[in-house]
Amino acid sequence: MIVCAGKSENIKGAIPIGVGLLETAINLNNLIKKHKPNEIIFVGSAGSYGRYKIFDKVISYCASQVEISSLLNISYTPLTDLKICNVSCETKTIVNSSNYITSDKEYSKLFLENGYDLENMEFYSVAYIAKTFKLPFSGIFAITNYCNENAHKDFLNNHKEAIKMLERVVEDI
């Protein structure tokens, strides 16, 4: 099953599941129960912490849900499953998810220094729900921006081209 966020990020051939961590989790859970797929492939845009360039196409099998406050050691969580990797695949690309977008270059560097490469709001929820149903998962991302002060502006400027890239990917699957 190929899924995408939806709303402003509808991708032909992919089923929209919602924006952010919560909508994604609820809607993907319901879709899996209804359609019983063999695997989940998420396609979407992502911001780069610096390792990847704008318009790179990146495949990942590993998602995390780490907040900036955690990296700054000003918060903690009792949750232990903050990084989920597809056990059948190896990856060096970790996609971090939050309901917020990083817009500070120094914090972006901090994520990169701690092993995180990309930022996408939905991928952790996709990974979590796939793991719950014991399904293999992956994410295919088109980089729209760097996570810095221009993140939103660059995202808006590059989003249409990224969607075209992802639609070509979905056609090839």
Summarize pLDDT for 78-123 with one digit per residue, the tens. Answer: 888 889 998 666 668 999 999 999 999 999 999 999 999 999 999 9
Summarize pLDDT for 26-55 with one digit per residue, the tens. Answer: 999 999 999 999 999 999 999 999 999 999
Our count of domains for the chain comes to 1
Enumerate residues 6+ apart whose C-beta is below 8 A from 18: 5, 6, 7, 24, 26, 27, 122
* Phi, psi (deg, nearest 5) at residue 34: -80, -45
pLDDT at 88: 62
Host domain of residue 34: 2-172
Q: CA 103 to CA 109: how far, in whole Å?
A: 11
Q: Return the structure tokens found at 140.
A: 């295919």
CATH number of the domain enclosing 85: 3.40.50.1580
Q: Return the structure tokens found at 161.
A: 């081209």
Summarize pLDDT for 113-166 with one digit per residue, the tens. Answer: 999 999 999 999 999 999 999 999 999 999 999 999 999 999 999 999 999 999
